Amino acid sequence: MPKYLREMKIIIDDKIPYIRGAFEGVAEVVYLPGSKTTPEIAKDADAIVTRTRTICNEKLLAGSSVKFIATATIGYDHIDTDYCDAAGIKWTNAPGCNSKSVEQYIASTLMVLAERKNLQLKDLTIGIVGVGNVGSKVARICELFGMKILLNDPPRERAEGSAAFVSLKQVMDEADIITLHVPLNMKGEDATFHLGNEEFLSNLKRKPILINSCRGEVVDTMAIKAALKNNQISGFVCDCWENEPDIDLELLALTEIATPHIAGYSKDGKATGTEMSVHAISQFFGLGLESWQPSGVEQPINPVFELDGAGLTEQEIISKAILHTYDIRNDDQDFRKNTAQFEQLRGDYPTRREFPAFTIIPKNVEEKTWQVLKKLGFVVH
């Protein structure tokens, strides 16, 4: 019998999908909006399962019985880890849980940009800043697209050597597109707060397109607005914003593509983050739920589709496949029409499934092209 059977209290963000029923047999469970988790509610809780909207710091946790915090997200800058460590509160995040979702987001972004701006991706250089769980997957798809890839990751370079990595200056000098996939570090030699500042933006040699799908504070809002107005960059794709949900509407109007922090919001990624959180709490408290798995993950619309490549280039065929699974323009349009509904757009985000949930029946598609589709993750018949 688990040590904490029916004695526990677990607070769970009510927007975490597929988790209802996981703990009900072993604990009292309280579901709340992330912003409604207060010190009074947390006082007699044993564990918190959260997303980024619950700030887990001394103000929330001091004097509480909380022993463990699990965030079903990659990022954990909403957790005051120094305080938790000092207070003996264990915590965990879900590294890599939504990395394939962000991969899909970037793939859709690149295909839309290519179509809008008449770009041949195989002729372009992309700089990937931050090559962890997400950045490494983005590098993989960009390689499949035939792009030249520049990888910048100082912590990895120090640990692994410089053979695979380049300096940030080289990215700034040579990249046609720069995509950011770094954690938010406020200080230290690997600080990323306002990495995209006035100095960075004014020294970009090729007027690249900049993509931010990691953390809003990695880019300085005032500096990026000035860079767009002064034509220092060719465009800005923004999923993560400073001061969410109270975002800068002038910046929104200037962006090429804008979305409400949903790059990692595939149902697959959410299910994985939920599963990792449940397993972590179960292991810590000895609840016996280490084999628990989410159920009820929604099926996509048209999961099996014919792809006719007659008269299309390889890039156009790949674009059709990717945009069938996820067309970022829909999120962009919804966001621009409902800018005041930032949190609602995230909370009620529609079903998005990753590439492996789709089966392609190719017609008039060369083998080398459908091999690329298979490597992307599609089932190809």
pLDDT digits (tens, 9 = 90+) for 303-329: 999 999 999 999 999 999 999 999 999
88 and 113 together in one domain: no
Residue 256 has pLDDT above 80, yes or no: yes
Count up the domains in the chain and report the number: 3
pTM: 0.88
70 within 8 A of 277, measured Cβ to Cβ: yes
242 and 105 together in one domain: yes
d(CA 181, CA 170): 17
Catalytic residue among 156, 215, 324, 352: 215
| Average pLDDT estimate for 195-209 | 98
133 and 240 together in one domain: yes
Quote the tokens at residue 43.
């006082």
Is 215 in the active site? yes
How do residues 108-132 score in pLDDT, each as one tens digit? Answer: 999 999 999 999 999 999 999 999 9
| Average pLDDT estimate for 197-215 | 97
Residue 296 lies in a domain: no
78 within 8 A of 312, measured Cβ to Cβ: no
Residue 182 lies in a domain: yes
124 and 249 together in one domain: yes
20 and 138 together in one domain: no
Average pLDDT over all residues of the chain: 95
Task: Supply the pLDDT for residue 56.
Answer: 97
Half-sphere exposure of 188 (CA within 13 A, CB side): 8
Catalytic residue among 261, 324, 346, 352: 261
315 within 8 A of 242, measured Cβ to Cβ: no
d(CA 248, CA 52): 20
Strands 125-129 and 148-152: parallel
133 and 252 together in one domain: yes
Task: Supply the pLDDT for residue 35.
Answer: 87
Last residue of a domain, one of 223, 240, 258: 258
165 within 8 A of 156, measured Cβ to Cβ: yes
| Average pLDDT estimate for 288-314 | 95
Strand ranges inside the chain, DSSP E: 8-13, 27-32, 47-50, 68-71, 90-92, 125-129, 148-152, 177-180, 209-212, 235-238, 257-258, 304-308, 359-363, 379-380
Percent over 70 (pLDDT), the chain: 98
- Alpha carbon of residue 112 to chain centroid: 18
Residue 88 lies in a domain: yes
Task: Supply the pLDDT for residue 241.
Answer: 98
272 within 8 A of 98, measured Cβ to Cβ: yes
24 and 77 together in one domain: yes
The one-letter amino acid at 298: E
129 and 239 together in one domain: yes
Q: Rounded to the nearest 10 degrees, how much is the dihedral formed by the CA atoms of 329, 333, 335, 339?
A: 150
Catalytic residue among 244, 314, 329, 343: 244
Determine the structural domain holding residue 313 and report its residue range: 304-326+343-380
How do residues 149-192 score in pLDDT, each as one tens digit? Answer: 999 999 999 999 999 999 999 999 999 999 999 999 999 999 99
The one-letter amino acid at 11: I
Residue 337 lies in a domain: no
Residue 152 lies in a domain: yes
Place 52 in a pLDDT band, splitting at 50, 70 and 90. confident
CA distances from 185 to 123, 142, 164, 342 (A): 33, 26, 23, 24
Task: Supply the pLDDT for residue 156.
Answer: 97
Task: Supply the pLDDT for residue 1.
Answer: 41
10 within 8 A of 42, measured Cβ to Cβ: no
Is 174 in the active site? no
Residue 236 lies in a domain: yes
Place 6 in a pLDDT band, splitting at 50, 70 and 90. very low
Residue with tokens 């710091």: 57
* Best CA proximity match to 47, nearest among 78, 92, 80: 92
Last residue of a domain, one of 239, 258, 277: 258
Residue 60 lies in a domain: yes
Task: Supply the pLDDT for residue 349.
Answer: 92
202 and 221 together in one domain: yes
142 and 216 together in one domain: yes
Contacts 24+ apart (CB under 8 A), 330-338: 331/259, 331/260, 331/262, 332/257, 332/258, 332/259, 335/252, 335/258, 335/259, 335/260, 336/252, 336/258
Task: Supply the pLDDT for residue 269.
Answer: 93
Task: Supply the pLDDT for residue 221.
Answer: 98
252 and 150 together in one domain: yes
Residue 297 lies in a domain: no
Phi, psi of 277 (to 5 degrees): -70, -45
CA angle, 315 as apex, 175 and 164 as ends, to 5°?
Answer: 35
Strands 359-363 and 379-380: parallel
277 and 313 together in one domain: no
Provide the CATH number for the domain around residue 119.
3.40.50.720
How do residues 331-347 score in pLDDT, each as one tens digit? Answer: 999 999 999 999 999 98
d(CA 233, CA 112): 18
